[in-house]
Structures are given as structure tokens and as C-alpha cells.
């Protein structure tokens, strides 16, 4: 920011100096040459008025002193030098002056002015004044050097002023940037301080108001999540205790099996509430999740949970372990939630046999959930919260599954549109640990 402001100011100052200095330098050069020619012309005119018509018969001629470093001389009609100093024979300027006109020009490296001397309407001689052009060039270069120094001084002052202004402009923006980074790091109490620049103060004020609104919104959402999970966990715990008490008092039979199924459902619901609360606290970032469940057991429990539901609709669920090792443990509860969402999506929106397979990718496990249906539309939008590809859902399930996968350091994606296949990648290590470093014995 500061360098950019200085660069812009220096560019503007440089353009202004060039636009002013170049014409001024040319004007100074022209003025100095014109001044020297004027002084030569005045000397030649002064000499012309002193020339007597009888100079050709020997009447002495008193010419004025020549300009500094110059020469002045009188030439007769044969272009011969009769008095003063100069070339012995008149040059082009002298010959042209016999045409009754004042001539200004160059002769070699000299500036020359030739003035005719008239008598009885006839030109009887020419006074020639000359001066070395090098002296004028030296003056021009000296003045140009002073002008260049003034331009350099002006640019230096412009840079100093620009740097000062850059610091003044950049300081509140840098402060705002620091506060924004602090907010990104989690400090929602950071606020931008006011400055003496109205426009930046407006931005800082809008930033603080936005942050205040976001902080309040996040607080309400977290309070809602905490309150909802608390209010759900309490009746769920009571319901579990009631069902367990009923199991102890009920003899073997259909009612006992129903109670077992109800107890399993309440436990899964309790796990779902815990996972949603964990996700809200982690804000979707990877965190320590204990790998407490072997992969075969996770597949077995998943098949037991969904077999009956799918069988009632004439659908089958096939689970295959492929080449995945049997001793690798994974975080059972969050993975069960993700797989449950994917299986429910295949149940509601897919068709035919549903297949759940696990593949070993050395440093990760790939869980593939596929059916015989087809996914239409953009694959990326399937995971947008509120977007339902078939128009029959709330558009929350896949978005929640993706967030749960990210919280484990994994990734969920649509790997094939036909047949519809979703792939969940969960990082593991060769020694049977997940990405967070927890070992098999941690569960």
C-alpha cells in the first residue's frame, strides 16, 4: 500500500516536472540565444551610426567596443575589412546585408549580425558583429543544470511528502487488516480503531458493525445448538432408561424385540445429537476424533441398521470390505452418521441395489456408496446447504455429511454420476491411526 502510494505520487510529480521543465528548458535556450543576437545587433547598429560617408576616402572610423569575447568590423562595398576586427573578407551575412537588410545568422561557430550603413539611399558599407556560440551554449548548459537541480529537489520533496501521506493513509488500513486477521484467528472482540481519515473511518465503522452483527448471530446460533442439544439429550436419556427398564420387565417375544429396536434407535439419535453439537463447536475444522471402531464392525452395524428398512422396499444392501485391513480403527460415530446420510440419500433418491464398499489407499480409506440410479445436475451444488437435486428434500443431509467429513480431515465427493456413487475419503496411518495421531488403544 505504502509503496503503491509513493509510486503513484512520484509518477504524477515526474510527469508534471517533465511537462514543465522540457518547455521551460527550450524557452531558456531560445531566450539566451535571442539575447546574444540582440546585443550583437545593438553593437552593430551603434557602429553603423558612427560610420562617416567619407570613410572610403580615408576618414577614420571609430567603432564601439565589441561584445565580451566578440568582434566588430566595417566592410566596404567590395566586402573588404576597413576597420575593426573580423574576417578579412566579408562572409555570406555581409554580402546579404548589402541588400539593405539586417542579417542574423551563423558563420562557422560564431553568431553573426550584419547591419547595412546607408547614405543617400545607398548602402555604402556593412558593420558586422560576431560572438562565439560556445559562450551561449555554456550559459545554456549552466542554466539547464540549475533547472535539473530544481527538478531533482522538487521530486525529492514530492517523494518525502508522498511517503508521509502514504504512512498516514496506510496506517489505519494496516490496523484494519490486523483486526481482520485477529477476527479470522477467532478473536471476535477485536475492533478497528478510528483514524483521522473520514473515508477509512467509514470502512472501519462498517467493519465493526458487521463484526458486531456476526458476533451476535454466532452467539445466538451457538446458544441455540447448545440449548437444543441439552433439551434433546435430557429426554433421550430418560427414554433410554425407560426402555431399558421395560426390557428388564418384559419377557422374550415380539415386544422385547421392538423395545431393543427402539433402544438402538434412541442411542443412534443420541449419537446424532452429540455429533451435531461436536460439529458446531469445531466450526468444521479437523479435530481429534478417537478411532474407536474397527472397519468390519462399522460395516456390520451399518448393514444391520439398514437391512430391514431397505428390505421393506424391495431393495438390497451389499457391504464389501475389499482390500481394507481388518485391524484399522476409525471414528465410529461420525462415520456412521455420514454413511447413514449417504445410504438414506440412495434409499430415497436412488434405485436398485445399494452397495457399500471400503478400499485401502495406503494413507486413507475410501468408503464408496453407490446405487443403480443416476445423479443429474452440477456435482458441486449437491453439497450446497438448502439445495435439493430432486426437489423432495431439505438439502441439509449431504451438506451435513460433507461438514462431518471435513471435521475428520477427510473429503466427500460425487465420484460417478451413473451409477450414482459417492466416495468418502478418511485419512489413516500405516500403524492403524487416524490423521490426528490417536492409536487403536485410545478407544
Residues 255, 310, single domain; the answer is no
Q: What is the pLDDT of residues 180-194, one digit of tens each?
A: 777 777 776 777 777
Which pLDDT band, with edges at 50, 70 and 90, does 205 fall under? Answer: confident
Residue 392 has pLDDT above 60, yes or no: no
Does 185 map to a domain? no
Indicate the average pLDDT of the chain: 80
Predicted confidence (pLDDT) at residue 276 exceeds the cutoff of 80 = no
Give the pLDDT score at 443: 33
In a shared domain, residues 276 and 334: no
Write out the H or E segment, with its range, that includes residue 421: strand 421-427
Tell me, yes or no, whether 330 lies in a domain. Answer: yes
pLDDT at 437 over 70: no
Q: Can you list the alpha helix ranges (DSSP code H) found in 49-132?
A: 92-97
CATH no. for residue 48?
Answer: 3.30.450.20
Residue with cell 456413487: 421
What's the rounded mean pLDDT across residues 102-131? 90
Distances (CA, A) of 82 to 50, 56, 68, 85, 411: 14, 8, 21, 9, 108
pLDDT of residue 327: 80
CB 81 within 8 A of CB 74: yes
pLDDT higher at 261 or 322: 322
Q: In whole angstroms, what is the distance from residue 218 CA to residue 59 CA?
A: 114
Q: Give the residue from 148, 177, 209 where a domain finishes.
A: 148
Residue 68's pLDDT band, with cuts at 50, 70 and 90, is confident
C-alpha cell at 316: 438390497
Whether 138 and 253 map to the same domain: the answer is no
Q: Which of 281, 297, 325 is the last residue of a domain?
A: 281
**What confidence score (pLDDT) does residue 439 get?**
42
Query: What residues make up the domain containing 295?
Result: 284-442
The answer to the question of residue 314 being in a domain is yes
Residues 330, 298 contacting (CB under 8 angstroms): yes
Position with higher pLDDT, 275 vs 215: 215
- Could you say which of 148, 181, 208 is where a domain stops? 148
Query: Quick one: 142 and 267 in the same domain?
Result: no
> If you average pLDDT over residues 346-352, what whole number do you get?
90
State the pTM of this model. Answer: 0.46
CATH number assigned to the domain comprising residue 235: 1.10.287.130
For a pLDDT cut of 90, what percent of the chain falls above it? 22
pLDDT band at 132 (very low <50, low <70, confident <90, very high): very high
Local confidence band at 17 (pLDDT 50, 70, 90 cut-offs): confident
- Record the cell numbers describing residue 247, joined without a space: 426390557
Is the pLDDT at 102 greater than 80? The verdict is yes
Which has more pLDDT, 271 or 413? Answer: 413
Same domain, 67 and 143: yes
- Contact between 281 and 223 under an 8 Å Cβ cutoff? The reply is no
Poorest-pLDDT segment among 44-58, 139-153, 191-205, 240-254: 240-254
What is the reported pLDDT for 189?
73
Does residue 226 sit within a domain?
yes
Contacts of 414 (CB under 8 A, 6+ apart): 375, 379, 382, 420, 421, 422, 423
Q: Strands across the sheet with 103-107, in order? A: 81-84, 71-75, 122-132, 110-119, 103-107
pLDDT, residue 115, reads 93
Residue 261 included in any domain: yes
Same domain flag for 318 and 212: no
Same domain? 254 vs 306 = no
Residue 126 sits at φ, ψ, to 5 deg, of -140, 130
Q: How far apart are CA 418 and CA 23, in angstroms?
A: 75
218 and 357 share one domain: no
Q: Higher model confidence: residue 390 or residue 167?
A: 167
pLDDT band at residue 263 under the 50/70/90 scheme: low
Using alpha carbons, list the distances in angstroms from residue 390 to 6, 188, 268, 290: 57, 39, 27, 35
Predicted local distance difference test score (pLDDT) of residue 230: 54
Q: Cα torsion at 142, 147, 148, 150 (round to 10°)?
A: 130
Question: In this structure, are 67 and 132 located in the same domain?
Answer: yes
Give pLDDT tens digits for 32-53. Answer: 999 999 999 999 998 888 888 8
Mean pLDDT score, 57-65: 81
How much is the pLDDT for 342? Answer: 92
CB-facing half-sphere around the CA of 318: CA atoms within 13 A: 9
Q: Which of 121-130, 200-209, 325-334 has the lowest mean pLDDT?
A: 200-209
- Total structural domains within the chain: 3
- Whether 178 is covered by a domain: the verdict is no
CA distances from 272 to 34, 107, 229, 357 (A): 97, 105, 10, 23
CB atoms within 10 A of CB 4: 10
How does residue 213 score in pLDDT terms, banded at 50, 70 and 90? confident
Amino acid at each position: 500500500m505504502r509503496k503503491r502510494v509513493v509510486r503513484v505520487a512520484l509518477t504524477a510529480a515526474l510527469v508534471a516536472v517533465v511537462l514543465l521543465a522540457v518547455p521551460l528548458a527550450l524557452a531558456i535556450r531560445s531566450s539566451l540565444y535571442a539575447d546574444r543576437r540582440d546585443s550583437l545587433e545593438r553593437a552593430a547598429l551603434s557602429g553603423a551610426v558612427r560610420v562617416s560617408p567619407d570613410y572610403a576616402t580615408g576618414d577614420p572610423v571609430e567603432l564601439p567596443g565589441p561584445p565580451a569575447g566578440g568582434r566588430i568590423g566595417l566592410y566596404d562595398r567590395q566586402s573588404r575589412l576597413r576597420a575593426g576586427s573580423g574576417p578579412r573578407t566579408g562572409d555570406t551575412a555581409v554580402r546579404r546585408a548589402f541588400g539593405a537588410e539586417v542579417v542574423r545568422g551563423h558563420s562557422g561557430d560564431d553568431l553573426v549580425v550584419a547591419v547595412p550603413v546607408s547614405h543617400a539611399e545607398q548602402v555604402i558599407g556593412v558593420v558586422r558583429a560576431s560572438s562565439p556560440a560556445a559562450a551561449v551554449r555554456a550559459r545554456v548548459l549552466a542554466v539547464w543544470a540549475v533547472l535539473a537541480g530544481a527538478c531533482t529537489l522538487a521530486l525529492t520533496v514530492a517523494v518525502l511528502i508522498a511517503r508521509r501521506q502514504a504512512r498516514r493513509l496506510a496506517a489505519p488500513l494496516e490496523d484494519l487488516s490486523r483486526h481482520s486477521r485477529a477476527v479470522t484467528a477467532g478473536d471476535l472482540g477485536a475492533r478497528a480503531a478510528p483514524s483521522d481519515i473520514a473515508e477509512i473511518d467509514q470502512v472501519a465503522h462498517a467493519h465493526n458493525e458487521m463484526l458486531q452483527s456476526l458476533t451476535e448471530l454466532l452467539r445466538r446460533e451457538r446458544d441455540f445448538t447448545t440449548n437444543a442439544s441439552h433439551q434433546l439429550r435430557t429426554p433421550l436419556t430418560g427414554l433410554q432408561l425407560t426402555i431399558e427398564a421395560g426390557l428388564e420387565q418384559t419377557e422374550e417375544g415380539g415386544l422385547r424385540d421392538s423395545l431393543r429396536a427402539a433402544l438402538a434407535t434412541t442411542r443412534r439419535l443420541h449419537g446424532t445429537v452429540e455429533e451435531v453439537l461436536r460439529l458446531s463447536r469445531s466450526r468444521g475444522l479437523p479435530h481429534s476424533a478417537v478411532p474407536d471402531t474397527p472397519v468390519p464392525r462399522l460395516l456390520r452395524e451399518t448393514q444391520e441398521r439398514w437391512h430391514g428398512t431397505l428390505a421393506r422396499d424391495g431393495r438390497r444392501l451389499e457391504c464389501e470390505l475389499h482390500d481394507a485391513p481388518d485391524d484399522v480403527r476409525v471414528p465410529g460415530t461420525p462415520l456412521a452418521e455420514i454413511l447413514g446420510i449417504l445410504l438414506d440419500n440412495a434409499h430415497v433418491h436412488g434405485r436398485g441395489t445399494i452397495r457399500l464398499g471400503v478400499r485401502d489407499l495406503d494413507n486413507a480409506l475410501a468408503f464408496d456408496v453407490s446405487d443403480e440410479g443416476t445423479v443429474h445436475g452440477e456435482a458441486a451444488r449437491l453439497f450446497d446447504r438448502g439445495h435439493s437435486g430432486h426437489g423432495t428434500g431439505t438439502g441439509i443431509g449431504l451438506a451435513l455429511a460433507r461438514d462431518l467429513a471435513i471435521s475428520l480431515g477427510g473429503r466427500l465427493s460425487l465420484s460417478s454420476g451413473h451409477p450414482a456413487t459417492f466416495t468418502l475419503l478418511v485419512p489413516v496411518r500405516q500403524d492403524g491411526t487416524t490423521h490426528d495421531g490417536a492409536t487403536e488403544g485410545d478407544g
